[in-house]
Chains A and B, each alone.
Chain A
Amino acid sequence: MLAPLWFFGFDSLMEFIGFAIASAVAYQALKGYRLSKERTLLYLNLSFGLLGAGLLIDGLANLVVLLARFHRAFLFLSAFGYTINFLAQLLAYGLLVFAYMQQAKNVGGQVAMAAAVPALFFEHNAITELILIFLLVYIATNTAINYNMNKSTSALLVFGAFASLSVAHLFFLLFTIAPVFFAFAHIAQLFGFLLLLAMLLRVNHAA
């Protein structure tokens, strides 16, 4: 399934913005880890570092395909970028799920995180998106519970971000049926990262 041609370029731009925001979140988590030595902040740092790296590689790969005017020799880069991005997200969200499980002392559930990773490149497909949706829904549920408990705006923004990222991957799943969902997915993904940026600004401004 090919992405709509009119949207090529915008998807890379949105992924570069996502990369910048994910890097900012990773940096904030690293600062927190250095200060407190709290391991969950290290997981958060690694998770958003991976998310950022995946977005950057996918964005660059798609940009090269665009600049090469969809030359056949470069088309594999799109699948390569997607594969790297998928693996990075799988690890990143897996780490976050692990962090939430550690917080809840649910050791048994951690075994479920040892997900098998296919070695070949893959295009957008239902299975990879379903795996990411499964992980994201778990994370979004935890952030919703957190918001319900402390009722802070920052917690609401984080919940909104992960809910938005879940919706983005639902759209990526639907993209396997209709190309227009590719654009919706990128917009939802960008919106999710913008909510994280709002949370970062709020946290640093309020203190």
Chain B
Amino acid sequence: MIPSEQGQAAKPVSKYRSQFRIYVDIMHVIQRENNEAKPTRILYGANLSHDRLVKYLEELKALGVIQENGIDEKTYSLTQKGIEFLNNFRKVESFASAFGFKI
């Protein structure tokens, strides 16, 4: 289970994204990049600042859903746990969307 972020104020222009949603967006980018994504691709794909990207990547690694590969040129890939999580998330998203609820 991935916890959701608490206590962040919504920005006036951009729509508020929960920590959970950011985790999912990062994982989607990695999967889209054939499960081997460079940090810059994740940064642009998930629309994050560098500092926040580093923070979230560390958190996702600690959760065991992504892993870091390479030494000189770092890339990130989903672990088996991460792939299973994304599959479950798709089911939940599709279920909630059928009722008109956004997650």
A-to-B contact residues, CB < 8 Å = 28-29, 31-32, 34-38, 40-41, 44, 99-100, 103, 142-143, 145-146, 149-150, 152, 154-155, 157-158, 199-200, 203-204, 206-207
Which residues in window 1-60 of B have CB below 8 A to A?
Answer: 1-4, 20
CB distance A37 to B4 under 8 Å? yes
CB distance B100 to A36 under 8 Å? no
List the B residue with the shortest CB-CB distance to A29.
B95
CB distance A36 to B103 under 8 Å? yes
Segment at the A interface, from B62-70, B74-82, B83-91: B83-91
Q: Majority SS of interface residues in chain B?
A: helix
CB distance B90 to A154 under 8 Å? no
Q: How far, in whole Å, are A36 and B100 apart by their CA atoms in the complex?
A: 16
CB distance A35 to B100 under 8 Å? no
Q: List 29 A-B contacts (CB under 8 A).
A: A29-B95, A32-B96, A35-B1, A35-B2, A35-B85, A35-B92, A36-B92, A36-B103, A37-B3, A38-B101, A41-B92, A41-B101, A44-B101, A99-B101, A103-B102, A143-B99, A145-B100, A146-B98, A146-B99, A146-B100, A149-B100, A150-B97, A154-B94, A154-B95, A154-B97, A199-B95, A200-B95, A207-B87, A207-B94
